[in-house]
Structure 1
């Protein structure tokens, strides 16, 4: 029982965050310096936003950089304020200066908002302590945060990877269960496929997270991670076999009508899903897995496949289920991969600065958006005679996310949570409660809030608002006077952040869909060149297969977010939804072909070359339709070869022929969809530029 409590991801995270915040307060209270303890405990908020609690092989180097930037931001904002430089100009300059971190790597990009929050929070301390004290507070606070997290991760060394792997196994279980529960409903792809696409997307996102963790920890060089590395390779094999599809609904329906295949296939899938959920718990709670066998289920499926040998569905399911069963029984991957082949690239500072100074830089656009929002927020505060507008500015930083939909949801949760928290604080401040009981209540509220924050941000905001008001009460003894002002500041900050996301160089996913679709087709072409070409190394095929899945996921994410953006063309999105559905079919065929290529089920060189040429022509037609909006007859492209092979069709050929069929449908959809696209912004660019890799 204690394992399920102490190793549970939410409980483990909540305990870590609560202890790193509350221990300085407790020590300060015991030593008679409660004010210093409360101020000291606010530094971990900046460290959290900067991602300094991420296990990393350069953990201490990142701590030094983060602490230095926090102290520099704190010093600069005080020094420039003392020299009568206007606050809007200070914040604009700081945001543009620190924005270069976003060009180095995605993890370094988190230093920008964290450093700005450190400077903004310093505004509340100006005039209350010497200029050197806030930077020293940030330096010591970052040292405490780093030392505590290093000790915590030493105690729970493998826990971050275990949590990700456990989530991946559980998502694969849900995906397998849902896929074969919908076995007879796949005749209508528009209704049956969206939930499967969402589950497939989550699985690939978790695979990407595990890859990133392994690169950050250099897991291949650490003997303590060998068991988890093997579990991850097993998960990659499972995702390969679970995600493939036959895509012959008529044959599925015929087999179901002629036999009890539906019940048998579901029996197999349910046994696999149950085992995956059991393994997810075993990985998370540090338990050795028990024995596993599904001979009865496979025997029944093999019997159906033998009795209906003319129907490909039975053999297809038996082939993939038997390999999944072998992997689950042995707990060993079907083959060894080089998991470190995709090493994360980082730009050094000078090349990053050169790239940052380009108008095409996404990091420059993000920094400029923050700079303009903070400048506008501080100008509004000066207009309304708010001397220290730190609450407005921090609200802007906390609710601003990478996309319109995420920002909108965060604003709703932040505003409603703040309102509810202020109401609760106003009601409870009337009671005269001893300081020790107040601190105990704040400890409990902090722990409960961190239990919910990753899934229910709004509920967590209620708790954090209550603790913030009581912190002000303990520091100044007049927390009730701040209630109405904090509510107005929150509303103002949310409105500014929303306006900035809508009007200031927004990351509209609808505008990125065309580029993401082009990138997905390019990834498919590279995969087919490997699969049908002369070079078929297992490691390269496995890596390219993951790239194909990730490229399709980027497109699928763009579509999902575009459907939530305001004022967009519904007919265009409806056509693109169908385009993405056929793209998913191609991904699943490439997954299946990767398995066949690894098992040397290949085509003759002449036949493979002919099919490859046909696929490349079809892909180029789709790509040119994305680049040009003219009539299809104007594109100078060779027509695909037809009927260049006569004779029995192999499994590999069947997959290639279906890819060609999907590409033909996608080209037809593109011809209709692009004519309905919006006529503004990026959509006026007739030719796409290559995306940087």
Structure 2
């Protein structure tokens, strides 16, 4: 019971965050400096947003960079305020200067909002204490935050990676169960495929997250991570075999009608899913796995395959399920692979600055958007005669997310949570609770709020709002007077953030669909070149297979976000949804072909070259259809001829996969032509060529 409690991700996270916040308060209370302890607890908010609690091989270097930026932001705000520079110009200039961090890497990009929040906190403190005090507060606060997290991760070593791997195995179990519970429904992709795409999306996201964690930890060089590295490689093999598909609904239906294959296949899938969930718990709670075997289930599949030799579905399921069973029984991956280095771009400062100064830079656009929103918030504060509109500014920063949909959800949750929290705080302040009891209540509320924060942001905001009002009461004994003001400030900040995401250089995902689709086809083409080459190597094959899955995942994510965006043509998005559906089928065929190529189920060099040429022609036709904006015309000089007709007799399994890929590409080319007639006719959609 204790092991389950202490290793649970939400409990572990909540304990860490609560101790970081409350220990300085407790020390301040014991030393008679409660106000300084409460102010000290502001710094972890900046550090959390900056991602300084992310385990990293350069942990202390990132900590020093974060502390320096917080201190410089604090000093800059106080210096410019002393020179009577207008607040809108201060925040616009700071946002544009700090925005270059986003060009260095995605992790460095989190330093921009964190530094701006440090400046906003300083704005609320300026004039109430000496200039040097907020600077020291950030330096020592970040040092405390870093040392505590370093000690915590040393105490719970490997736990962040274990949490990600546990989630990955649980998602693989859900994916496997959902896929084979829908076995007889695959005749209608419109209803069967969306839930499977959602599961596949979650699995690939978690695999990408594990790749990043392994890279950031340099886990390949540490002996303590060897077992987790092996567990991750097992997950890659499992995802490869679970996500494959023959996509032969007619053959599946025939086999189900002639035998009890559906029950046997579902029995295998449920056995595998149950085992994966047990393994997820074993990884998370540091338990050694128990023995496992599913010989009876595999034997039943083999019997069906022998009884129906003319139906490929039985052989297909027996092949992939037997290999999954071998992984689960031996607790080892199917083959030894070297995990290729993470190829995430990380630019040094000066090349990043050069890239940032381009008008095409997404980082520059994002920094300018934040700067303008903060400037507008400052002007609104001046209009309401607020010399320090820090609550409006903080609300803008906290609710602004990467996309329109995420920002909209965060705004609704923040506004509702703040309203409920202010009502609760206003009622309880009338009870005049003694200071000691108030601190105990704040401790309990903080722990509960962090327990539910990652899954229920709105409910957590109720607790955080109550503790914020209580903190104001303890700092200035007038927290009750700020309740209505804080509510109005929150609503103003939410409105400004929403307007900024809609009207200030929005990066609509529907406008990026074409580029993401082009990138997915490029990844498919490179994978097919490796698979149909003379000597496919396992390591490049495995890496390219994951790139194919990730590229399709990016396309699917942008489609999902585009479906939630306002004011766009639903017919265009419906056509692109169908295009993405066929792209998913190609990904599944590439997954299956990668397995076969690694096990040397090869075609003759002449036949492989012939098929590769046909695939490349079909892929280039699809890419060019996306690239040229004429909706229905065909340019002989630019569009390549279609692939030559290939024989349909005595095809091997590898050839069947290639034929189905060609069929999907032909359909996608037709869909692209139809989709262009439905596209919006303004802005980014009028570009004739992709960048």
The question of whether the paired residues in 1 share the 8 Å contact of 2:46 and 2:117 is answered with yes
Partner of 1:371: 371
In structure 2, list runs of 5 or more residues that go unmatched: none
Q: Which residue of 2 aligns with 1:203?
A: 203
1:119 aligned partner: 119
1:12-66 deviation digits (Å, cap 9, x = unpaired): 0000000000000011011111000000011000000000000000000000000
Note the C-alpha offset of 1:345: 3.3
Paired residue for 2:669, among 658, 667, 677?
A: 667
How far does residue 535 in structure 1 lie from its aligned partner after superposition? 4.5
Aligned residues: 689
Q: Which residue does the alignment assign to 1:49?
A: 49
Describe the SS at the equivalent of 2:634: helix
Hey, what's the Cα distance between the residues in 1 that align with 2:72 and 2:644? 66
> Per the alignment, in what secondary structure is the counterpart of residue 642 of structure 2?
coil
Q: Deviations over 1:473-512 (max 9, x none)?
A: 0000010000000000000000000000000111210011
- 1:189-241 Cα offsets, whole Å, 9 max, x none, are 00010000000000000000000000000010000000000000000000000
C-alpha displacement of 1:127:
1.1
Aligned position for 2:321: 321
Structure 1 position 669, deviation (Å): 0.7
The 5 A counterparts of 1:1-20 are 1-20=1-20
- Coordinate RMSD, CA, aligned: 0.9
Aligned 1:280-295 pairs, distance under 5 A: 280-295=280-295
The residue aligned with 1:633 is: 634
2:142 equivalent in structure 1: 142
Shift of the 467–150 alpha-carbon distance from structure 1 to 2, 3 Å rule, reads same
Q: How does 1:601-612 map to 2 (within 5 A)?
A: 601-612=601-612
What is the CA distance between 1:641 and its match in structure 2? 4.0
Q: What is residue 497 of structure 2 aligned with on the other side? A: 497
2:350 aligns to what?
Answer: 350
* Cα displacement (A) at 1:639: 2.3
1:344 Cα deviation after fit:
3.5
Residues 629 and 675, structure 1, Cα contact 8 Å, conserved in 2: no
Unaligned runs of 5+ in 1: none
For 2:70 and 2:601, locate their aligned partners in 1 and report how far apart those are by CA, in whole Å: 57
Q: Which residue of 2 aligns with 1:382?
A: 382
Choose from 681, 684, 691 the match for 1:682.
684
Check whether the contact 1:426–1:483 (CA below 8 A) recurs between aligned residues. Answer: yes
1:215–1:343 Cα contact (<8 Å) kept: no
Matches within 5 A, 1:562-577: 562-577=562-577
Structure 1 residues 628-657: Cα deviation after superposition (integer angstroms, max 9, x where no partner): 122442143342343454752011100000
The TM-score with structure 1 as length reference comes to 0.99
Q: Distance in 2 between matches of 1:162 and 1:567?
A: 42
Q: Normalising by structure 2, what TM-score?
A: 0.99
- The separation in 1 between residues aligned to 2:678 and 2:656, in whole angstroms, is 34
**Aligned partner of residue 124 in structure 1, secondary structure:** helix
Contact preservation (8 Å) 2:618, 2:643: no
CA–CA distance in 1 between the matches of 2:285 and 2:643? 56
Q: Which residue of 2 aligns with 1:130?
A: 130
Q: Which residue of 2 aligns with 1:479?
A: 479
Partner of 1:233: 233
**C-alpha contact (below 8 Å) 1:304/1:314 kept by paired residues:** yes
Structure-to-structure mapping, 1:11-160, within 5 angstroms: 11-160=11-160
Please give the alpha-carbon distance, in whole angstroms, between the structure 1 residues aligned to 2:259 and 2:366: 58
Match of 1:585 in 2: 585
Name the structure 1 match of 2:278.
278
Contact 2:340–2:543 (CA under 8 A) maintained in structure 1? no
**For 2:652, which of 629, 650, 653 is the aligned residue?**
650
Q: Describe the SS at the equivalent of 2:565.
A: coil
Cα 1:632/1:654, change in 2 over 3 Å: farther
In the aligned structure 2, how far is the partner of 1:678 from the partner of 1:533?
41
Range with bigger deviation, 210-219 or 640-649: 640-649
Correspondence for 1:532: 532
Check whether the contact 1:624–1:635 (CA below 8 A) recurs between aligned residues: no
Match of 2:392 in 1: 392
